[in-house]
Structure 1
């Protein structure tokens, strides 16, 4: 059965990290290990996401995709002034979108000519833009992206504040802004929403709210392997089990892993 993990990372401890990295790994997360996890859990495909600590050097991810081109696609990090020819080259190597990881960073100035040009290129190429940002940022970014014909993918439930929970005014505002025509949400990274029992509860509440918003057909799942900064607390099996807790109905699990993901990633 077709099933996809839409969020994982590969890297080596020897890969050159950017100077401003908030975290640098001291271990390897190889594509071979990742494929083994997919096989063990009966997942047919995977999407690799460029980790923030490697910046715009996408080589490790591209090398991994090249080893399993039928099973893997990727989400790159790029500079906004990257030319269309380079984007086309990335497209040929299995890249289907870009990621903005804005934790610890200022909001980009999307009004610059470089950003407007990049967003137009993404629209033309039918790529997606993936946002990893707190709700306070997301509510500012979504209106900027709405004029573009882009799939906008929101990471990890929208990174709900562990203290404020779903009652956070910014999160409630985000929910009110979500448009089924443009927005996708990853029901992933639950353990980034607080300690284990609390995070499962917050993620479950968020899942129900997203369903109530009519977004069931726009939800996708990712393992977030190898669970950077949470490696000692979480395993691949843990996150699969948590997904089944958050989304207990088999039919909904299959829709999230299969039908929804197929529409977005076109495997």
Structure 2
């Protein structure tokens, strides 16, 4: 992997020496949440971005996945590239059918543009309700996009701070699409499994439209590496909703300001999250296949 040449504004540079995981991943394993950043001289970052990351283009991502034993992936558009999905589409095109994507779009996005994105391997749209990423997505705009993407069979990916869920949940329940919640709802691991935010997430997950990513252990942890305080939350979600959970590295870990994870270590958390072969197979292979790769033979 190429070493970053400068620290990212607002976050640490990613670990350029991922360890070789002890965990052997099943065939077809999917990283369902990662990003491509630039390189900025080819794919400029958005003028209104709230952070500037270290470049981590498709070659860096592909090398990481090969090293970790990951065969497929879903690249998620990050706010530093705004609504310009070009870098992601370029990576998907280079991925030989093994990569799909989640875009960010404007509320007034045209049907022709959505068709172009669909042809490029996009399977859904992401909306942010996270303070450090700027203004929340406009709810009316979200609903307008929902109407446009429903015929494509796409879904929503929703990224929110845990304290937003009480307000967001009633709105999300009105949306007639599959919705994927990022990073275990960004709960605070130090507050325990009985915290209201996690209870709201579990309640939302009872509705079969909702899926959740057991990614971002380093984000919800308060104990630091090896982030074991995040495991009870991930394991509860995996064991309670085994057919609607996904996992991702979140590489290159934007906006991590301390305790930058090593991606090999994150892979080695998987047996703690999904402690049986059946749970691991569902989390890493079967579930992402159903959601993202049904168009493949």
> 1:200 — aligned with what?
228
Contact 1:7 1:49 in 2 (8 A): yes
Aligned to 1:224: 250
CA distance in 2, matches of 1:175, 1:115: 23
CA contact (8 A) 1:11 1:30 kept: yes
Structure 1 residues 234, 198: CA separation in 2 closer, same or farther (over 3 Å shift)? Answer: closer
* Aligned positions of 1:60-71 closer than 5 A: 60-71=87-98
Q: Deviations over 1:133-169 (max 9, x none)?
A: 1123233333323333311000111101245343332
Residues 141-150 or 128-137, more deviating: 141-150
Specify the alignment match of 1:187 in structure 2: 214
Query: Any conservation in 2 of the 1:200–1:246 contact (CA below 8 Å)?
Result: no
Alignment TM-score, normalising by the size of structure 2 = 0.80
Q: How far is the alpha carbon of 1:67 from its aligned partner? A: 1.0
Single out whichever of 120-129 and 172-181 deviates more from structure 2.
172-181
1:77 aligns with 2:80: no
1:42 Cα deviation after fit: 2.5
In structure 2, relative to structure 1, the CA distance for the partners of 1:162 and 1:208 (3 Å cut) is closer
Structure-1 residue corresponding to 2:11: none
How far did 1:252 drift? 1.2
Q: Which has the higher contact order (CA 8 A, sep 6+)?
A: 2
CA contact (8 A) 2:187 2:197 kept: no
Q: 1:94-133 counterparts in 2 under 5 A? A: 94-104=121-131, 105-110=134-139, 112=140, 114-133=141-160
Could you say what secondary structure the match of 2:287 adopts? helix
d(CA) in 1 for partners of 2:232, 2:96: 36
Output one character per residue of 1:180-222: Cα deviation in whole Å (capped at 9) or x when no partner: 4201110111000134258422x2221343256x411101110
The residue that corresponds to 1:21 in the other structure is 49
Name structure 1 gaps, 5 residues minimum: none
1:137 — aligned with what?
164
Would you say the 8 A contact 1:154–1:186 is kept in 2? yes
Structure 1 Cα separation of the partners of residues 59 and 227 of structure 2: 30
Matched, 1:166 2:193: yes
